[in-house]
Amino acid sequence: MIQPGLHDDVVALAVGYGRKAAGKVGNIGVDAYPLSSFAKGKPVFAGRVVTLKKTSENYLLVSTQDHHVMEGRAIVLETTKSAFEKDPSSGIHKHQIFSIWPQHQYTKHKWALSVDLNSCTGCSACVVACQSENNVPVVGKKYVLEGREMHWIRIDRYFKGTPEAPEVAVMPLMCQHCENAPCETVCPVLATVHNDEGLNDMSYNRCVGTRYCANNCPYKVRRFNWFNYVKKREEPLHMSYNPDVTVRPRGVMEKCTFCVQRIRRGTNIAKDEKRAFKDGDVKTACQESCPADAIVFGDLNDANSKVARLFQEKRTYKLLEELNAVPRVGYMTRVRNAERAEVSGHGSEHGQPAHGPAKDEGKEDKKKHGNNVQQHEGELV
Amino acid sequence: MSSVARKPLILGSKTYKDITDDICAPVEAPATKRWFGLLLGAKALFLFYIVHIAIIIGTGMGLLGVNHPVAWGTMIITFVFWIGIGHAGTLISAILYLFRQKWRTSVARSAEAMTVFAVMTAGIFPLIHTGRPWLDFWLLPYPNQRGPLWVNFRSPLLWDVFAVSTYATVSTVFWYVGLVPDLATIRDRAKTKLRRLIYGTLSLGWRGSSRDWAHYEIVYLLLAGLSTPLVLSVHTIVSFDFAVSMLPGWHTTIFPPYFVAGAVFSGFGMVITLLTLVRIGFPKFKDYITIDHMEVMNKIIMTTGLMVGYAYGSEFFIAWYSGNHYEVYAFTNRAFGPYWWSYWIMISCNVVIPQLFWFERFRRSIPVMFVVSIFVNIGMWFERFVITVTSLHRDFLPSNWGMYAWSWFDSAILFGSFGMFLTIFLLYLKFVPAISIAEVKPVLYVGKKRPGHEGGH
Amino acid sequence: MGQRKGGIAGLWYDDHECVVAATKVREAGFKKFDAITPFPVHGMEEAVGIKRSPIPYIAFGAGATGLLAGVGLQYWTSAVSFPLNVGGKPFFSGPAFIPVMFELTILFAALSSVGALFAMCRLPKIDPPVIDPDLTSHKFALFIPEDDVGYNADRCEQLLKSLGAKEIKRLSDY
């Protein structure tokens, strides 16, 4: 894959592939270790001079994300250190939103999640943890090519700046558990409704699979079981399932549940121990696995909880706030050290012209060219 | 009486008996080889369709092109396509009746039949497009022990359940009520006992008493008056499947009138296609479904085509004027993005080609109108494709952007649905009078001198 | 119209003449006679003296019932029986409930009017006697039943012939 930011004369090859005894999912790719060397008793993974030769074969590469430019939209909001010091909320454009009917009140727990984009490195540990915790199926290359990946949390990666000097912006995205969830309004059978703790519940056994909820989600975090992925799991891999979480048959929608099984476990343990629920009793899988502690889960109705304090911070914003979905996930702006001529985010969806649509992308391009070609002339906005 | 001479609605010098004989002939004569050949072809396509639906239900929705983010595809597009076609029949039967347009009488029966069969064809799709079709009955609010768990009346899909069921029921009932006197006609001419029994049962013992006709006329007027807001509301509710969502390109208030106009447009296209073929198959019908009738319907195609074209233009204008850059992007992407080809097919078929009908020569030419009507239907299918796929494939967050993964099954579903429609329509042509006998007789003397009476009626 | 009865029928071959004849028959004092035509003839209702059909009132009442049914069904299921927070919307989501209310109004009105039509015409009739099979094709009839006011078979036959009837049929069972 041709990546912005990598020098034209450099090729990067990931180690760890080309295994021989790891099964269907692990025995893929090529072993890159033979290209490494040793110096002063330490392995060296760079610097080897290689020649590339074009062959007549084509090899299909697939990716879960095809478009890497924010198109001038306020998605990953950033600011610089000096701008932040003057105004902690710099980079955020607040929208005026209002409701034409009285909102439901949440008096018991009010679950919410905070993601600090300043701490997040995009390592994807959360993606792996969520997959293991929630029995999310692995669908394989063929179905990823057709757009059928099943990740409940994903790391969106955008490039900014110029192709010669790009910057990367990453954003972990999971179900936002919106209070005015667009998905709930359109499900005809009430398979997805809002519970009194603010969670967007997904009832697998009620879902008939109209997929209207997936269409109406502006964040596109809902995943549909296009086939019976469960049936294809071979023993003894079935032992790796989390017994606290069901598996979903085909025809059923699924998505991030804020690890509702862990929430129930945490609140039940507190009840059994005859004490009040306290902050930290429940950690979602993504939170637990994040090495940077970028993800924090908790109860907004507990004023002392970490998440409640983070939501009060000026750096916190909601994604696509203007749609008035009232998400329960708060993102915190990234603060960069380097100065830049303009600060991203503010007014970006109003002032700057939209980037023209690129025609030469899309997963089916790979069939023709054999590799993923990201071609953007000029500025990456 | 008016001083402007009206064109005759029935050509040739015919009597009431001639009308009965002409229209009953295809039903009473034995089936022709041509009809059998066409029926076999349609049935083969229908069988192909059923087989593919069974495979999809047995294996999974993944066989089609739907994916993340384009979770709706051919099934919904073809659903809206067929429902839209149905609306022209109701317009001819009901709305033109309210406007006292006498020319509707010879085309109303076949148009309304087209409606009933198109709605039947369309009705399959909401049932099979779900991931678990065997649980579709959960969309009905029936009492149960699970709460009781009801349904979500705020969801446009649920409004569809009520709207499409009401439309199917009322259209079928309206069509059947119109059929009863004609079925009685066939019963009274029946030469075999079996024919007498079947048509006698279906005609419910109708004898034509004026007291019965008095009730009948009122009920026909009521049904026409009820069907008019019904047809407007049904396609409005189908448009709400899109308009009530949040997607740029879907979330727009122009959809209800735009969809209704588009439905009438595509429906009349299908009526022209079918009636040109019916006239070729039953040459006697050319005296009843005249070129004047076809010309008027082509004018309606022109009018609604211009309305649809205006809607396209105003969508673009409003997107630009709004300054909302998601909206602007949605429309520039439609015209210049990866699906630009579908957008321009839609524009050329729906806006450019029907302009041929400005010329009387083309309005009255059977080959031209047949070709134009085919393009109208192609264009209207693509309109729903453009709306569904291009809005879904690129929405708010660019990380989600993707493409629809068209597969063999998509084509099978689209073309197979025609097998279902054509099979039922061909059966209708053989067993039911394709022109409304009892409605056409009162307009026999329009534009003609009535023997023994002063002036035309 | 329930019992079968005998009477005299005159057949015309032109609808206009039949209407004129019907007016004259009514002026002659007959009240229970009927016209049988293959299509609804303009002016026949007034000529025969038929009262306006009550079906529109039935349809209106049924439509109003449908409207109330729609409101009631949605209100009870969404706000009373099992209220659920769907998208943050209020339990009784008025604007969202309108489409179903509208459709049920139309459905009830339409089905009731057709049901009333069948009831008023006493359909379905199992193989009722037919005066002439051409009456559903191109002939028009006036039928004077024997229990009508001042009925006399010969006088009626005279009257019908004088009004231009092309055929006369005496019936014992219609």
The answer to whether residue C159 sits within a structural domain is: yes
Q: What is the pLDDT of residues B399-451, one digit of tens each?
A: 999 999 999 999 999 999 999 999 999 999 999 999 999 999 999 998 888 77
Of B203 and A339, the one with more pLDDT: B203
Residue B454 is predicted with a pLDDT of 52
Residue B244 amino acid letter: V
Tell whether B207 is within 8 A of chain C (Cβ): yes
B387 to chain A, closest Cα gap in Å: 13
Nearest Cα neighbor of B92 from B274, B356, B256, B237 is: B274
Do the Cβ atoms of C88 and A196 come within 8 Å? no
Q: Are residues C37 and C86 in the same domain?
A: no
The 8-class DSSP code of residue B347 comes to: H
Spatial neighbors of C118 by CB under 8 A, at least 6 apart, are: B204, C124
- Name the strand (E) or helix (H) holding C9: strand C7-12
Q: Model pTM?
A: 0.92
Task: Give the integer Cα–Cα distance in Å for B426 and A55.
Answer: 58
Of B261 and A370, the one with more pLDDT: B261
Considering all CA atoms of chain A, what is the largest pairwise distance in Å, rounded to the nearest integer?
70
Task: Give the integer Cα–Cα distance in Å for A254 and A374.
Answer: 31
The answer to whether residue C25 sits within a structural domain is: yes
Task: Give the integer Cα–Cα distance in Å for A308 and A298.
Answer: 8
Residue C152 is predicted with a pLDDT of 86
- How many domains would you assign to chain C? 2
Q: Are residues C60 and C115 in the same domain?
A: yes
The answer to whether residue C127 sits within a structural domain is: no
Task: Give the integer Cα–Cα distance in Å for A333 and B296.
Answer: 63
Exposed/middle/buried for A286, CB within 10 Å: 0-12, 13-18, 19+? buried
**Which among B72, B323, B400 has the least Cβ separation from residue A211?**
B72
**Whole-number Cα distances in Å, C160 to B369, B448, C9, C136, C165:** 52, 29, 8, 20, 6
Task: Give the integer Cα–Cα distance in Å for A301 and A328.
Answer: 12
A153 to chain C, closest Cα gap in Å: 22
Residues 114-173 of B with CB under 8 A from A: 129-133, 135-136, 138-139, 149-152, 154-158, 161
Q: Are residues C143 and C97 in the same domain?
A: no
The domain defined by B16-141+152-443 folds into Formate dehydrogenase/DMSO reductase fold (1.20.1630)
Beta-ladder partners of A201? A193
The answer to whether residue C129 sits within a structural domain is: no
Q: Is the peptide bond before B69 cis (omega within 30 degrees of 0)?
A: yes
pLDDT tens by residue, chain A, 381 residues:
788 888 888 999 888 889 999 877 778 888 999 888 899 989 999 888 989 999 999 988 889 998 999 998 999 999 999 999 999 999 999 888 888 889 999 999 999 999 999 999 999 999 999 999 999 998 888 999 999 999 999 999 999 888 888 899 999 999 999 999 999 999 999 999 999 999 999 999 999 999 999 999 999 999 999 999 887 677 788 888 999 999 999 999 999 999 999 999 999 999 999 999 999 999 999 999 999 999 999 999 999 999 999 999 999 999 999 999 999 999 999 999 877 544 444 333 333 333 334 333 333 333 333 333 333 333 343
Tell whether C81 is within 8 A of chain A (Cβ): no
**Which among A154, A215, A359 has the least Cβ separation from residue B337?**
A359
Residue C164 belongs to a domain with what CATH number? 3.30.70
Q: What is the pLDDT of residues C84-138, one digit of tens each?
A: 999 999 999 999 999 999 999 999 999 999 999 999 999 999 888 899 999 999 9
Q: Is the peptide bond before A182 cis (omega within 30 degrees of 0)?
A: no
Residue A367 is predicted with a pLDDT of 34
Tell whether B410 is within 8 A of chain A (Cβ): no
SS3 content of chain B, % helix, strand, coil (to 5): 75, 0, 25
The answer to whether residue C2 sits within a structural domain is: no
Q: Which chains touch A (3 or more CB pairs under 8 A)?
A: B, C
Phi, psi of B325 (to 5 degrees): -75, -15
The domain defined by A78-336 folds into Alpha-Beta Plaits (3.30.70)
Q: What is the pLDDT of residues B168-185, one digit of tens each?
A: 999 999 999 999 999 999
Tell whether B342 is within 8 A of chain A (Cβ): no
Q: Where are the domains of chain A?
A: 78-336
Do the Cβ atoms of C88 and A195 come within 8 Å? no
C-beta of residue A62 within 8 angstroms of C-beta of residue B403: no
Range of the domain at C156: 7-51+134-171
Which residues of chain B make contact with C16, given a CB cutoff of 8 A? 450, 453
